[in-house]
Structure 1
Amino acid sequence: MGFRIYLVEDDNNLNLVLTTYLKKEGWQVTSFLTGKDAKNAIKNTPDLWILDIMLPDIDGYQLIKEIKLTSPKVPVIFISARDADIDRVLGLELGSDDYLAKPFLPRELVIRTRNLLERVYGLNNEVLDIPPYTIEERSRRVKSKGELIDLTSKEFDLLLYFAKNQGIALSREQILETIWGVDYFGTDRVVDDLVRRLRKKMSHLRIETIYGYGYRMIENDK
């Protein structure tokens, strides 16, 4: 679920931090430490690239040329610790959509990424209406009377699963497989905990407990 983002950053610690922040938004993040590994993945065509310009082998300039040859419309964010003006101009000439100079706060990268994704893919942002809530699927945002509701990635995934299956009884096993994946090993009680957290944050949702089986979301009154 969510957008697929490829992050190329050779500093292992920064790579881990940025990956963690991006994943919290519900995006599917694949990270690379070298330009060579990133180049081999260009054919997979993610929804967005985040490229560090300074890499130990193939630099970001070479990578963006390869990316644009394969997928000219895929957005790219450049990040760099070098001269900001030079890198920004060169990046724009090569097709980058945004630029972020190091050092920066990880949250700033998240905001830049979200804004760029919405600008490029906004027309495909399906909106589900569950009064008093609206769910923006692609941008993964939930609002109530115009105010954003802060959900974790798993909470949003569960909400979306319920919203698309209103009135249908969903077993814990079905929810586990959909939200955690078929390879998940652990107790199905994590489902109960996730439902409890969702109910607490969105008290107007009508989620019924089906004892011994699972849950069902009932359509809210308009």
Structure 2
Amino acid sequence: MATILIVDDEEKIRFLIDTYSKHEGYLTVLASNGLEALDQLKNHSIDLVVMDVMMPELDGFSALEQMKAIQPNLPVILLTALGQEYDKVRGFELGVDDYVEKPFSPRILLLRMKAILQRVYGKQLDSYENDGLKIDYQAHKVLLNNQILSLSPKEYDLLVYLIKNKGIALNREQLLRQVWGIDFFGDDRTLDTHMKLLRKNLNGFAKHIVTIRGVGYRYDEEE
């Protein structure tokens, strides 16, 4: 399952791409400018960036250049309203994978995203396997020692997000925002309850989910 970093200073554009990406089954991380995008890239495991060119604080070209310095093979799609050949040439010279001009069709954008992910990662994003746990992202199915686990939708989303960001300490706010959504108004007890149920369902495999006191949780493959 791919994680998409969506970067645009227009909230409605971020929301549009976010909605369509989640409907496709992708995880998402949002940023409103280039500086925020760089911070998100350092704190999350990102598979593809969809980023506007014209933004405050740090424009798309400058952000792209710094992203490639951090993660040279990171796929990037730039959104632009400029439509000038010079800007496209500049982007391709910096390593952009594709351009989509505004206004754009969300469905066309998703098809281009899917094509790039398939080309770069192949089947790597279709499934996950470790220590007897298997996840088929396409079928939305989790098996432990070849036995299908009956997880609730939120337990599944929580497990996938932890695994997708393996080795990264995830705080409670991050987990609530990414798994329950930006409009969630509950409290930490919701997260703790679902984590308790998830660990119970995972039985011995739960050792891979580490509690970080005062912070949140981390998924470790080698526990």
Shorter-chain TM band: 0.5 to 0.7
1:179 to 144, 156, 181: 156
Q: Is the 8 A contact 1:34 1:55 kept in 2?
A: yes
Q: Per-residue deviation at 1:35?
A: 1.8
**How far is 1:71 from its partner?**
0.4
CA contact (8 A) 1:84 1:101 kept: no
**Cα pair 2:2 2:125 within 8 Å, conserved:** no
The corresponding residue for 1:31 is 30
Checking the alignment, whether the CA contact within 8 Å between 1:88 and 1:99 is kept in structure 2 is yes
2:179 is matched with: none
Alpha-carbon displacement from aligned partner over 1:157-208 (angstroms, at most 9, x marks no partner): 2xx22xx35863645xx4456325372979xxxxxxxxxxxxxxxxxxxxxx
Q: Deviation digits for residues 91-143 of structure 1, max 9, x if unmatched?
A: 10000011111111111111110100000000525579xxxxxxx95xx55xx
Contact 2:29–2:40 at 8 Å: present in 1 too? Answer: no
* Alignment correspondent of 2:161: none
Q: Aligned equivalents of 2:148 and 2:125: distance in 1?
A: 27
TM-score (norm 2): 0.61
Unaligned runs of 5+ in 1: 129-135, 142-155, 187-222
CA contact (8 A) 2:31 2:40 kept: no
The change in CA–CA distance for 1:107 and 1:169 in structure 2 (over 3 A counts) is: closer
1:166–1:48 Cα change, 3 Å:
same
Q: Aligned letter for 1:70?
A: I
Q: Report the count of equivalent residues.
A: 156
Distance in 1 of aligned mates of 2:22 and 2:116: 16
Counterpart amino acid of 1:25?
E
Q: Deviation at 1:36?
A: 1.9
Equivalent AA in structure 1 for residue 191 of structure 2: D
| Residues in 2 aligned to 1:39 and 1:127: alpha-carbon distance in whole angstroms | 27
Output aligned runs, 1:27-176, within 5 Å. 27-44=26-43, 45-124=45-124, 137=136, 141=138, 156-157=139-140, 160-161=141-142, 164-165=143-144, 168=147, 170-171=149-150, 174-175=151-152
Q: Quick one: percent identity of the two aligned structures?
A: 31
In 1, the alpha carbon distance for the partners of 2:37 and 2:148 equals: 42
User: Which structure 2 residues correspond to residues 179-218 of structure 1 after superposition, within 5 A?
Assistant: 179-181=156-158, 183=191
Number of the residue aligned with 1:22: 21
RMSD: 2.8
Q: Secondary structure at the match of 1:61?
A: helix
TM-score, normalised on structure 1?
Answer: 0.62
State the 1:25 CA deviation: 1.2
- 5+ long unaligned stretches in structure 2: 129-134, 159-189, 195-223
1:120 to 1:185, Cα distance in 2 relative to 1, 3 A: same
> CA separation of 1:126/1:60 partners in 2, compared to 1, >3 Å: closer, same or farther?
closer
SS at match of 1:183: helix
Q: Which has the larger radius of gyration?
A: 1
| Whole-angstrom CA distance in 2 between matches of 1:123 and 1:176 | 23
Aligned position for 2:201? none
Give the letter aligned to residue 69 of structure 1: A
| In structure 1, distance between residues paired with 2:126 and 2:106 | 27
